[in-house]
A and B are shown apart, each in its own frame.
Chain A
Amino acid sequence: MHCKVAEFTAHAGYQQVKTLMNMTPPLRDERATMNTSTTQRGALSIRNVTKIYDPEGVNVMAVDNCSMEIAAGEVCMIVGPSGCGKTTLLNAIAGFHSITHGEIFLDDALLCGPSKPKAEQAAERMVVFQHGALFPWKTLAENVAYGPTVQKTLRKKQALEKARDMLSESGLGNVVDKYPGEVSSGMARRAEIVRALINDPKVLLLDEPYRAMDALTKSIMHESLLETYDRTKVTIFFITHDLEEAIFLGDKVHVVTTRPCQLKKTVSVDIPRPRSYETQSSEQFRLLMDEVNEAVHEEAIKAFQAGEREMA
């Protein structure tokens, strides 16, 4: 699962959970078969983006003049109170929603801007959804093979083979032919990330993917995501309101304000990779937590006082 297997095993609790989830870390040499992108790509540039919703004639500003630079191969965590417009930003990048003003670039190519308010959906920007969106009517292998099949980059049979291999590498070898409804939420989420990665995306967009999980499963998902990142160096745009998660996973933590969403503060996390669970008890980690917490707490209070219903 992670390079530091030895450290990982030291935590008896995690070992137990791992046993329960029936997962084995993939062997080192097998990881070499995974496609690794050597060129740095996937730099996102969000410039002065504004999004105004217009439900029933009342303008609601979800994002106000928000700018962010995300370097290629960076793990960028967006932290902010619930319903602040983080997801709106993600939807704009993914091409689910239009934006009202501003521009978003990916590797110097315009995704959306004044000339085209809504970006096209494409496999270079893969989304992993909050509640999970594996197709329940396809097995995990079929789900993963779906992307290459419909993009016609692989024949169906080859795609299925590749899907099986990739799922096995992620420790899902014995559930490849199961339906998403038959496996744990942790496994399903992991398979969903594999489904995204098989398309070799430039950016991975994650919208609070581990929100509904218990702390122990979450920790396993984090290790697994970090391991995936170390291997692929894909740019990650990760929305969360879990501060520990943000610092543990991220290179940069962008704290955004309550609605309308604006960049409030950027905290660089210079904890070296690969990171393991011991990182979380270090002094450096604690100081970073304090720094982020201070910025977020203010916004949380504002959001609470505004009393708006969470848009989830």
Chain B
Amino acid sequence: MATQYAGGTTGHRIEAPTGLALLIYRLKEALSTPKPYLMGFGVFLWLFTYWLLCEGLKLDRFDKIPGPVAIAKEWFSYEPFQGISFFTAEYYDHILASCRRIAIAFAIATGVGVPLGLFMGWSDKIRQYIFPILETLRPIPPLAWVPLAILMFPGFEAPVIFLATLASLFVTTLNTMLGVQSIDEEYFRAAGCLGSSKWDIFKNVVVPGALPYIFTGLQISIGVAWFSLVAAEMVSGDLGLGYLIVDAYMNNVTVPMVIGMITLGFVGWFTSVIVRVIGNRLMQWQVKELALQGR
């Protein structure tokens, strides 16, 4: 058995840390680089500029915009003056409503878009059937669909989800298709040589080969979904972060408006991290390969 290394004394290897030890090791590594300090300083600098413009210098142009101190005070207050803070149930209702819609829209878009893209990339015939229509519909901005969506679907919920799905679907489909087309021809040939059926090739070459592109697409697509969801909520909705922003604007309260925006930023970031983590789980081979290249 060739399990022993032939290197003799020099072949000794140190066991890699795992679990908590790994976490501490990584933290130490991170703190020994200038990265976290630069990030902290960057955030501080931006916040300071924001404060300076709105509250420090009190410039005319910014006199209607709430500054960071005003927002923080309101956000953390038990009895918010303008109605929205961490301690009001309403705040979480808005977040949950938006997240629920995103979850549904993203699930539909992924469930339809990925298989559609896979088949379009795999089969010329299917691509020719679908591609021209897709390319014509794709440039239409989601907002242009709003009237049609409201006419088509009853209530507040369905049109909003429809619009978010639509935007997300195009991105997912197109990226998945490009992903399949990016697979090296030699993998198909190798699979053919090894005696694969068409279905084997689909399962073992097309799907895993396209995964890197699919997940890049999904990260973009969830961003786009948020984008059109908020637009839709502003036009037609009774709940959700987009509605919160527009509602605050209508009622001439500015702090909830900005709170809604910042919340959107964080929630959107969080969802895209989830997608990335799932992607890395499914693509260990790529993570390990990139790690060896020092990335």
Judging by beta carbons under 8 Å apart, are B193 and A181 in contact?
A: no
Judging by beta carbons under 8 Å apart, are A125 and B193 in contact?
A: yes
B154 in the interface (beta carbon within 8 A)? no
Mask, A164-207, CB within 8 Å of B = 1, is 00001101111000111110000000000001000100000000
A136 in the interface (beta carbon within 8 A)? yes
Q: Which residues of A contact B292 (CB under 8 A)?
A: 181-182
Mask, B131-150, CB within 8 Å of A = 1, is 00000000000000000000
Residue of A nearest to B6 (CB): A24
Q: Which residues of B contact A168 (CB under 8 A)?
A: 1-3
| Bound CA–CA A134/B6 (angstroms) | 26
Judging by beta carbons under 8 Å apart, are A96 and B288 in contact?
A: no
| Bound CA–CA A123/B283 (angstroms) | 28
A237 in the interface (beta carbon within 8 A)? no
B40 in the interface (beta carbon within 8 A)? no
Q: Which residues of A contact B18 (CB under 8 A)?
A: none
Q: Write 7 A-B pairs (CB below 8 A) sorted by A numbering.
A: A25-B2, A126-B193, A129-B190, A135-B204, A150-B196, A150-B197, A178-B288
Residue of B nearest to A153 (CB): B195
In this complex, how many residues of chain A approach chain B with their Cβ under 8 Å: the count is: 45
Nearest CB in chain A: distance from B205 CB, A: 7
A247 in the interface (beta carbon within 8 A)? no
Nearest CB in chain B: distance from A70 CB, A: 18
Mask, B267-295, CB within 8 Å of A = 1, is 00000000000000001111011001000
Nearest CB in chain B: distance from A115 CB, A: 21
Q: For chain B residues 171-210, which have a beta carbon within 8 Å of chain A?
A: 184, 186-187, 189-197, 200, 204-205, 208-209
Q: For chain A residues 14-39, which have a beta carbon within 8 Å of chain B?
A: 18-20, 22-27, 30
Q: Which residues of B contact A131 (CB under 8 A)?
A: 184, 186
The residue that A171 contacts in the complex, of B2, B195, B286, with Cβ under 8 A, is B2
Q: Which residues of B contact A301 (CB under 8 A)?
A: none
Q: Which residues of B contact A117 (CB under 8 A)?
A: none
A113 in the interface (beta carbon within 8 A)? no
Judging by beta carbons under 8 Å apart, are A26 and B2 in contact?
A: yes
| Bound CA–CA A249/B6 (angstroms) | 26
| Bound CA–CA A23/B4 (angstroms) | 8
Judging by beta carbons under 8 Å apart, are B189 and A24 in contact?
A: no
| Bound CA–CA A221/B134 (angstroms) | 49
Nearest CB in chain A: distance from B249 CB, A: 49
Top 4 closest pairs, chain A to chain B, by CB: A181-B289, A137-B208, A133-B190, A121-B192
Residue of A nearest to B190 (CB): A133
| Bound CA–CA A18/B6 (angstroms) | 8
Judging by beta carbons under 8 Å apart, are A94 and B189 in contact?
A: yes
Q: Which residues of B contact A19 (CB under 8 A)?
A: 6-8, 10-11
B46 in the interface (beta carbon within 8 A)? no
The residue that B194 contacts in the complex, of A22, A30, A123, A129, with Cβ under 8 A, is A123
Judging by beta carbons under 8 Å apart, are B193 and A23 in contact?
A: no
A151 in the interface (beta carbon within 8 A)? yes
Judging by beta carbons under 8 Å apart, are A22 and B189 in contact?
A: no
Whether A123 contacts B211 in the complex (CB less than 8 A), given A174-B5, A182-B288, comes out as no
| Bound CA–CA A22/B11 (angstroms) | 8
Q: Which residues of B contact A18 (CB under 8 A)?
A: 6
